[in-house]
Structure 1
Amino acid sequence: MSAAVGLAALIFGTVAQADPIQGAGSTFAAPIINQWSRDYEAMRTDGGDYTSPDWRVDYEPVGSLAGIMRLAQPEMDFAATDAPLPPHELTKRRWTQFPIVMGGIVVVANINGIGAGQLRLSGQVLADIYLGKIKNWSDPAIKALNPDLTLPDAPIAVLHRADGSGSTFTFSSFLSKVSPEWQEKLGADTLIAWPIGRGEKGTGGLATLTAATNNSIAYLEYGQAVRAGFRFVSLQNADGAFVRPGPATFQAGLATVAWNAAGGFHADTTNLAGANAWPMAVVTYAVLPKDRGEMRINRVLDLFRLSFTRGADEASALGYIPVPHELAGRIEAYWAENYGPADPALANN
């Protein structure tokens, strides 16, 4: 058999067996995962005419909870979640977990005449709004924080996610730290038994509902809020300072996190100390089963390796915080410990 025929047989044989990388989960991280997916195929194609399904990624933004649930399906390669699994759960399920991108959950208020960052809220007042104890924008507790603002004498339209969401986990984790009543009654979870308000599925769905609802309040991923032109709230942090959301204030809190590879890099990123720290930083994790086979696992690791080394600019442009270089090195060491050395055919590209 000639070399050309052999190469053709190899190519067409590979195509016959190849499938895209299958992922699902976080809507928070969907924009950057979709961008990295396009970049990944372009980098692996390297300007050539031939492409393979192996170099494509099918990612479904179904929410963090649904992504984790889908990982039980044998065709799934990874889940993306903004609510990290505790170390004992990873051990029990024989899964691994590592950060892929960072950012922040912000509070937005759709009130006519109130600009971005002008409205100030404390964590306690925010919790009381979502508990239904503060019902009107003219409530004395809100006025006390905003003596120079003219707020409407109008009911607060409370909006939230209706599906299992890592954004909800981050939001409710923060409220649990600043409000004993919230902690006792509702706690922190991806799904909350909301006492009031209207819910919508997905970050995009909640953003659409917020834009259409006057005098509403909601929590959204920072990049989504910026791209939609929403007016975000300044929140009081653990040091008592009112801070505006943005990459610098997200990073101010995230820089204090001690990452523990042995525990799957599990970390609490809400209400972190620091005068400039935004109180609701968030980290999206990729979760991988160990039983998907070497070839499939290596493809997923290849995707995120290239995202770490070449995808930082895209992450920043979309309002995220890229995984820092030092942490990316620790994550690759974690991969080697759990899966062995990287495939040289992939890692050297």
Structure 2
Amino acid sequence: MRKRRGTHWMTGWALALALAAPVGATDITGAGASFPFPLYAQWASTYLAQTGEAVNYQSIGSGGGIAQISKPTVDFGATDAPLSAEELKARGLVQFPAVMGGTVPVVNIPGVSAGELKLTGSELADIFLGKIRRWNDPVLVARNPDLKLPDADILVVHRSDGSGTTYGWTHYLAQVSPAWQETVGVGKAVKWPAGQGGKGNEGVANYVRQLRHTIGYVEYGYARENNLTYIQLQNQAGAFVSPTPASFAAAAASADWAGTPGMGVMLTNQPGEASWPLAAATFILVPEVSRRPESTRSALRFFDWAFKNGDQAADDMHYVALPDTVTDLVRDRWAQQLRTADGRTLWP
């Protein structure tokens, strides 16, 4: 289980990074989303060893990160749900993606191995709406003629707490199912029409691992670490794909980053034959006009270093690095949009 994401682990990392900073080193501060925290901490540790610059990141949630960078009391904020162009303008911020993850539908069906069960987005929505109630429903049997699906009720497991994972999940289901959009909608917490709740990714993973005939959704890392049985999901192009770093990267490569205001792309249901339809990015926020230009430059140097040197750490920790085409666009946005108070460019 990914207990490293807990509060005690977070506090230990923050303290260790603060104490490890050499005298005179630039202390970069950030705060926000919990999802990328383990990776940011690992990047920061290696960055400190290589450059002598310390990065102190506090995992306080996306809302807290947005609030702190808006003041600003930190050098960068972090959020899993991208801000709109209007929100960015109102707060005087520039946004860019930092790394990707994704959500994975997982099942516990006796005799069904990872990647064998295939579902379309609308079928998945109907299961979570309670419209498809049994594993041997004719719709599922027709979709999976080579599988022996049991004559058993489907036990739906969803998150009981509000989360960015649920936001991405419901955002996808609303895209592929008008019924879902009309009756449930999109949110970090919704009124579930079927199933039982588990707290956190670990709660859902435990239910699915222990109980037969279940279906749930978890972060990609939880699916990998717990060896949960993932499904193949039909993407926008009509292809059935598995959740892999390559299919997440394909979704990012297919997205219209340049044409999306603030680069605030939701990576659900992206085009492309190889795209995983439930990919997601997490985002960084910095001031458009910096009152502390050297600190902002230091934050940009850290993420530039991470884009160049952090791919292996991301893979080891079950995140997915952004394609070079996206990180090149990020640097272009830095050069075009970020300024000091007297109008000078901040990057490069």
Quick one: distance in 1 between partners of 2:91 and 2:207?
A: 37
Task: Give the alignment of 1:4-83 within 5 angstroms.
Answer: 14=24, 21-27=29-35, 29-45=36-52, 55-60=54-59, 62=61, 64=62, 67-68=65-66, 75-83=73-81
SS at match of 1:264: helix
Contact 1:261–1:334 (CA under 8 A) maintained in structure 2: no
Q: Deviations over 1:184-234 (max 9, x none)?
A: 122233332222333344434433443344322222222331122111011
Quote the offset at 1:72 in angstroms: 5.7
- 1:338 alignment counterpart: 338
Quick one: distance in 2 between partners of 1:113 and 1:287?
A: 46
- Would the alpha carbon gap of residues 76 and 185 (structure 1) be closer, same or farther in structure 2, given more than 3 Å must change? farther
- 2:128 alignment counterpart: 130
* 261-270 or 80-89, larger mean C-alpha shift: 261-270
2:146 maps to 1:148: yes
* 1:243 aligned residue (241, 244, 250): 241
- 2:4 alignment counterpart: none
Q: Deviations over 1:262-320 (max 9, x none)?
A: 82112232222222222122111112345673344334323212111211222233343
- Would the alpha carbon gap of residues 124 and 70 (structure 1) be closer, same or farther in structure 2, given more than 3 Å must change? farther
Q: Deviations over 1:323-346 (max 9, x none)?
A: 222322321232233145458xxx
Letter in 1 for 2:33: G
Contact 1:116–1:230 (CA under 8 A) maintained in structure 2: yes
> For structure 1, which runs of at least 5 residues remain unmatched after alignment?
1-10, 46-53
Quick one: distance in 1 between partners of 2:155 and 2:260?
A: 43
Q: Deviations over 1:28-84 (max 9, x none)?
A: x33422321222222233xxxxxxxx604233274x456546656754444433321
Quote the offset at 1:244 in angstroms: 1.4
2:323 maps to 1:324: yes
Quote the offset at 1:126 in angstroms: 0.7
SS at match of 2:230: coil
Letter in 1 for 2:31: G
Contact 1:99–1:283 (CA under 8 A) maintained in structure 2: yes
SS at match of 2:269: coil
Contact 1:106–1:280 (CA under 8 A) maintained in structure 2: yes
Contact 1:159–1:216 (CA under 8 A) maintained in structure 2: yes
Task: Give the alignment of 1:276-315 within 5 angstroms.
Answer: 276-289=274-287, 293-315=292-314
- Would the alpha carbon gap of residues 65 and 125 (structure 1) be closer, same or farther in structure 2, given more than 3 Å must change? farther
Quick one: distance in 1 between partners of 2:75 and 2:205?
A: 29
Q: TM-score, normalised by structure 1?
A: 0.80
Structure number with greater Rg is 1
- 1:259 alignment counterpart: 257
* 136-145 or 71-80, larger mean C-alpha shift: 71-80
Quick one: distance in 1 between partners of 2:209 and 2:300?
A: 38
Contact 2:28–2:299 (CA under 8 A) maintained in structure 1: no
Contact 1:99–1:265 (CA under 8 A) maintained in structure 2: yes
- Would the alpha carbon gap of residues 34 and 189 (structure 1) be closer, same or farther in structure 2, given more than 3 Å must change? same
Quick one: distance in 2 between partners of 1:205 and 1:294?
A: 43
RMSD: 2.9
Quick one: distance in 1 between partners of 2:296 and 2:183?
A: 41
- Would the alpha carbon gap of residues 323 and 20 (structure 1) be closer, same or farther in structure 2, given more than 3 Å must change? same
Letter in 2 for 1:37: A
- Would the alpha carbon gap of residues 215 and 289 (structure 1) be closer, same or farther in structure 2, given more than 3 Å must change? farther
Quote the offset at 1:101 in angstroms: 1.0
2:165 maps to 1:167: yes
Contact 2:28–2:75 (CA under 8 A) maintained in structure 1: no
Contact 1:65–1:165 (CA under 8 A) maintained in structure 2: no
Quote the offset at 1:250 in angstroms: 2.2
Quote the offset at 1:238 in angstroms: 1.8
* 261-270 or 125-134, larger mean C-alpha shift: 261-270
Q: Deviations over 1:149-202 (max 9, x none)?
A: 222333323222334433222221221121111111222333322223333444
- 1:50 alignment counterpart: none
Letter in 2 for 1:191: A
Quick one: distance in 1 between partners of 2:218 and 2:91?
A: 30
> For structure 2, which runs of at least 5 residues remain unmatched after alignment?
1-21
Quick one: distance in 1 between partners of 2:107 and 2:218?
A: 11
Letter in 2 for 1:22: G
What is the percentage of aligned positions where both structures have the same residue?
38
